[in-house]
Amino acid sequence: MKKLLLNGFEPFLKYTINPTMKIVQELDGLTIGDYIIHSEVLSVDFNASGDELLAHIKQLQPDAVISLGLAGGRFKMTPERIAINFKDGERDNVGNNPVDEPIHMNGEPAYLSTLPIRAMVNHLTANGLPAEISNSAGTYLCNNVMYEGLAYAKSNNHNMLSGFLHMPASHELAIQHGNIPSWSHEDLKKGVQLCIEMLSENGQ
Ligand code: PCA
């Protein structure tokens, strides 16, 4: 049996609920295909989230890492193709407000996801869920965590697959937010389960 580290994020900015938190909590301990799922929730804190991720990786020694984040305003599930070496964005949950800063001072400019993102998108759409590959994870916490996971894999464990899935809002969040496209919690969760099935079938 292989181990999957599945991360979600806490709420942030004007998003009073982060649907990824509930999804990872509900999938914790389940087995999908070859993978047993171990879930964690990461902080929306530029100074802490990378260290949190690396601590979970070192503790669990996973075969693969999938991190989930809310992309408020997106209509589709969007596996991310690339993480870039930049931190920039609105104030995080503890007040960090980086502008054009590198994540790693002399790090690679970017890393490509090692998840089977095309197979994931095809499997999602074949099962009736709108999906497309995203070519930008932004420069906020999600990009930060995706970059850290791939940088770790590159320098410490070439076999560990790693990447990021951005998710639309849930209906529960959309009601609170007021003006945002949304999916049911069940469809969001099913989307993540379908992606893990593809990881099991197509991940090397
Ligand atoms: N989404 C944010 C950070 C946390 C989350 O769920 C992002 O897209 O960077």
**Which CATH number does the domain housing residue 47 bear?**
3.40.630.20
What is the arithmetic mean of pLDDT over 146-173?
96
Please check the confidence at residue 57 and state whether its pLDDT lies above 70: yes
Mutate to test the pocket of ligand 1, among 70, 87, 103 (most ligand atoms within 8 A of CB): 70
Active site residue 142: yes
What is the arithmetic mean of pLDDT over 117-134?
98
Catalytic one among 40, 56, 80, 123?
80
Distance CA 148, CA 13 (A): 22
Distance CA 173, CA 169 (A): 6
Cβ of 9 less than 6 Å from ligand 1: yes
Distance CA 122, CA 130 (A): 10
What is the arithmetic mean of pLDDT over 162-175?
98
Please check the confidence at residue 100 and state whether its pLDDT lies above 80: yes
Distance CA 148, CA 101 (A): 14
Cβ of 20 less than 6 Å from ligand 1: yes
Catalytic one among 38, 56, 123, 166?
166
Cβ of 83 less than 6 Å from ligand 1: no
134 C-alpha to ligand 1 centroid (Å):
14
Identify which of 159, 140, 43, 52 has the alpha carbon closest to the alpha carbon of residue 98. Answer: 140
Percent of the chain scoring above 90 in pLDDT: 98
The predicted pLDDT at position 204 comes to 61
What is the arithmetic mean of pLDDT over 90-111?
97
Identify which of 4, 3, 130, 60 has the alpha carbon closest to the alpha carbon of residue 52. Answer: 60
Closest ligand 1 atom number to CA of residue 20: 6
Q: What confidence tens digit (pLDDT) does each residue in 75-90 have?
A: 999 999 999 999 999 9
Q: How far is CA 175 from the centre of its chain?
A: 23
CB 153 within 8 A of CB 114: yes
C-beta pairs of 57-63 under 8 Å, 24+ apart in sequence: 57/5, 57/149, 57/152, 57/160, 60/3, 60/5, 61/3, 62/3, 62/4, 62/5, 62/38, 62/160, 63/2, 63/3, 63/4, 63/35, 63/159, 63/160, 63/161
Q: What residues make up the domain containing 112?
A: 2-201
The predicted pLDDT at position 33 comes to 97
Please check the confidence at residue 157 and state whether its pLDDT lies above 80: no
Query: How many domains are contained in the chain?
Result: 1
69 C-alpha to ligand 1 centroid (Å):
5
What is the arithmetic mean of pLDDT over 119-131?
98
